[in-house]
Structures are given as structure tokens and as C-alpha cells.
Amino acid sequence: MPDEKQWLPLFANHKGEVMELSGLTMLARSGNQWVVPESSEMMPLPVGASLVSIPRRIPVGWDGCRPQLISRNTAGYEAQAVAVLLPQGFTRTLLPAYVSPELSTPVPLYGYAAAGFRDGRIWAAAIQTDEHRKWHPRYYNTEGLPRRINRMLAKYPENRLVRQLASCSLQYSCYTAQNIFYQRWEGGLPTMTACNADCLGCISQNHLGVDSPQQRLQFRPSVTEITELGVEHLVHAREAIISFGQGCEGEPSLNASDLAAAIRSIRQHTDRGTINMNTNAGYTEGIIQLCQAGLDSIRVTLFSARAENYGIYHRPHNYRLSDVAATIGYAHEAGTKVSINLLTMPGFTDREEEIESLLAFVRQYGVDMVQLRNLNIDADLLFANVSSGGETMGISGMVSILREELPGVVVGSYSHPVR
């Protein structure tokens, strides 16, 4: 049952200022249903979270009997919906409640979480699902970052990959790119321009009327460029991971021959750190090559463990969910650690049939970790393509079920070192 003491709705005024509105109760959204949040679904705004207004979206509150549009505040200013963008380590439980005017373009591709106001502070529809330290914003975009970038550019003046990561660090504030220059933790190495899927929420390709938040890589780095930067990071970084398969590229396994050569070359120089790949795992032959070359871990992006819903979201070319399963099965048998990058959406991922299918998939194919990733997409766009029916357990309930039913599987939010 909903709590007796509820949250007030938030809205943004014409100046972009965030304000609470008394007289109504906060509403949130799960799938296509508006709901009043429960205490297990809300937490005080995490440090490092961002409040944003959602353009051209009218917020909705609850008057005790029915939903009410918050089209204007008491001063007569037009109101815009407000949401929270969560930092790494936190999983969204509910979506913001708003109405989209007819012919509205999709909202920018971010993982919007509902927000409310209570006890003198802002709350977010979220739970913590992993340790937050490595991804805390205070460790990124520091005053010394440009100096570190210039030092690396001077050390590798001919390496195009270093220049790409410098751009990603400064233009897009990419944390995995910045880690290359900070020489710590997980560092991203993008290498592939093409992809074998056309995901609804792709963040590096413009489609479906949505502008991508970043440009896709425009070149394929050489084996030498990959090797020298990979060695640089693994030798010098703390708790080092290098990851192929970043948001600014396509599917890295399509570049298997070059990556396999680079992995072998890297391991000739050092046995330190983890070599990881973020992948859709549809190109089994390519990942076999990479596992044989010494790949330590893969993180497989998965919207659904049910074939129909998988196809609707990922829109794969020349592969199916069965190929993904075969890839995971092979990697597990080869000793490569396997994580599922579960694209999490309240009202879909927490449906009973989705949870049951995921549990069966993880058990059957030997998954070591489930990473909960807030899906960056316009919820209206997603649910126009995917059915929103079915019983839901709630995101916090789903996480509890995963941890109870999969005792040998880590449930978290991001990749951890495996060596």
C-alpha cells in the first residue's frame, strides 16, 4: 500500500528552476501505468545525481481521486516535467509521470527517473545496486584533466585512438574515456565503426527522430594503436580494465581479427589487469576468436531474454537471440567471465514473465553477473513498440528475486575486475 506520508510533485518553471507543488501528491510511471510511489521505491537524491527538466512534457500529479495535469503553477508560468539522471551504482525504480502533447518529438536519450519532494529535500525513484565510489562525479572533469590529456597526446602523437578519447573526455564527458588519462579503473577503447544491430535506444546513431548524444567513431584504429594504449592502461592504472565496445562505436566483435591480434600483443607485454568487451554477442565466430586470444570477460547487452521482445528492441541483423545464447555458452565453457548488461525499464524488465525468462537464461548459459543498466530512451517511444501489459514485481522486488534465486551470481551495476 502507498505510504500515508507522500511526496509532493516537482516541476520546472519558465526559468528552469525546480519547484515543489503543494496540494497534489507525486505520481510516477511504471510501463504505461501511473502509480503513487512506495517507500521501497524512493530514496533521498543520491550525491552525483542531476535534476533535469524534460522539454515539452507536462507533469502530472494526484489529487487523491484522479491524475491532474500541472500545466501551470500558481504564478501562471508554464510547467515542465522534472526527472533525475542517476549516477552509476543506482538503479531507477519508476519513470516520471508526464503527458506528451500530440506530435511531440521524442525526448533526448537519457535514463529519466521520477523525482519528488518530502521532508525538506528532493527524492529519487531509485535504489542503490552497486558501490558508487569509482563513478562519483567528483573524480571526473577535474581541473587537471586537460593537462593529463596533453601529456598522453605528447607521448603518443601518432595514435588516433588517443585523440578520439581526448575528444570523448572533453566533449562528451565520457568517464571511461577519462579513466584512460587518469590511469585508473575501467578505460574504454573504441575500435569499430559498424554494428550488426539497430537498437531502438542506440546512443551513437540518429534514428527514429532522436538525435544521438554522441557521434560514432569514424575510423578503425590499427593493432598498434590499440596495443600501445591497452598496455599503457593495464600497466599503469589502478584496478585496471580495458573495455572494447563503447557508446561511441558499433559492435566490437565485428573487428575480431584486429582485436584478437591486439589482445595477444598486449599479453606479450603484460599480464596485469582485465581485458573486457561490451558486446551484443550476436557474432559468435568473432567472440570465439577473441576468447581464444585471451579475452578475460564479456558484458552482453540484453533488453529481454524472450526472443520476441529481444528482436523488437535490438533489431539484429544476421543473428538471433539463440546466437547470443550460444556465444555466452561458449565463453562460459572457455573460462571467460560473462556479465549480462540488463537494459532496465520499470514496467517491463520487472514483469513476471521477463524475470522468469531471465532467471532461466542466466542459469542455463552460465552467467556470472547481472549488471542493471538504466535504459536511456523515451518511454513513450519504447512502449509504442513493446507491449506494456503483464503483472510487475517492481524493480526493487525484481532485484530481490534475482539475488535470492541466483545466489552464485553477482547483481550490480557495472563491470568489476576479474584479474
Whole-number pLDDT of residue 85: 96
* 56 located within any domain: yes
DSSP string, 8-37: EEEEE-TTS-EEE-TTSEE-EEETTEEE--
Whole-structure pTM value:
0.94
* 418 located within any domain: no
Q: How far apart are CA 298 and CA 243, in angstroms?
A: 9
| pLDDT tens-digit map of 9-58 | 999 987 888 999 889 999 999 999 999 999 999 999 999 999 999 988 99
User: Of 91, 108, 128, which one is at a domain's C-terminal end?
Assistant: 128
Domain count, the chain: 2
Whole-number pLDDT of residue 1: 40
Asked if 309 and 361 sit in the same domain, the reply is yes
Alpha carbon 135 to its chain's center? 13
Whole-number pLDDT of residue 156: 98
Asked if 206 and 317 sit in the same domain, the reply is yes
* 419 located within any domain: no
All residue ranges of the chain with pLDDT < 70 are 1-4, 72-77, 103, 204-214, 388
Asked if 168 and 35 sit in the same domain, the reply is no
DSSP string, 105-172: PPPPS--EE-EEEETTEEEESEEE-S--GGG-GGGSS-TTHHHHHHHHHHHSTT-HHHHHHHHHHHHS
Asked if 197 and 289 sit in the same domain, the reply is yes
DSSP state of 210: B
| pLDDT tens-digit map of 62-120 | 999 999 998 865 545 688 999 999 999 999 999 999 998 876 788 888 999 999 999 99
Q: How far apart are CA 72 and CA 19, in angstroms?
A: 12
Q: Can you give 67-87 as a three-state secondary structure string? A: EEECCECCCCCECEEEEEECC
Q: How far apart are CA 184 and CA 234, in angstroms?
A: 9
Asked if 232 and 303 sit in the same domain, the reply is yes
Residues 394, 40 contacting (CB under 8 angstroms): yes
Whole-number pLDDT of residue 15: 82
User: Of 111, 128, 145, which one is at a domain's C-terminal end?
Assistant: 128
Domain with residue 252: its CATH number is 3.20.20.70
User: Of 104, 128, 152, which one is at a domain's C-terminal end?
Assistant: 128
What does residue 210 show for φ and ψ, rounded to 5 degrees?
A: -115, 130
Whole-number pLDDT of residue 290: 98
Domain span including residue 92 = 8-128
* 3 located within any domain: no
Asked if 112 and 240 sit in the same domain, the reply is no
